A = this chain, B = another copy of it.
């Protein structure tokens, strides 16, 4: 006897996105990146298996200028499954960052211009992320009506909003760290 098929985190992530609106596999692949990096080769088969399990369903949308696409929606059964998962404790986040290893070895090459370059590149990355998130924030605020004001916890955009806020806080901290390290490194 085997119970209900158990889903992995990526699968729950797809269901999470689909609580907002319908998406194609292509769109899901793009939108899930900031939360959970994954390639289309992982998403497409997973969507197929979620559909087989009855947690999502799709409608084919015929397009003329672009290839046809499959628009996926979460089902009642998928919503229930997601609801159970939402109530459970979240696992510890896992971050894997090459730069941490390279930073740890700074005593081996701190005088090299390569060392400075690593932190300049990371600072640039943080600045780009911050710029992206600031644009997103404005977008969500506009969509929520009262511009300048923050969405409240009952707003449908509250989830999106707090995640943008988290990104802003964390990337700001990372940028400041990079700039501090650069100030400590010899020119």
**What residues of chain A have their CB less than 8 Å away from a CB belonging to chain B?**
9, 12-13, 16-17, 19, 34-37, 82-83, 85-87, 89-110, 112, 114, 117-118, 121-122, 125, 152-160, 162-163, 165-166, 169-170, 172-174, 176-177, 180-181, 184-186
Given contacts A118-B89, A158-B106, are A100 and B35 in contact (CB under 8 A)? yes
A98 touches B91 (CB 8 A): yes
Number of copies: 2
B96 touches A93 (CB 8 A): yes
Return chain B residues, CB-CB under 8 Å to A122.
90
A104 touches B165 (CB 8 A): no
A101 touches B184 (CB 8 A): no
A155 touches B107 (CB 8 A): yes
Given contacts A93-B97, A96-B94, A125-B92, are A166 and B177 in contact (CB under 8 A)? yes
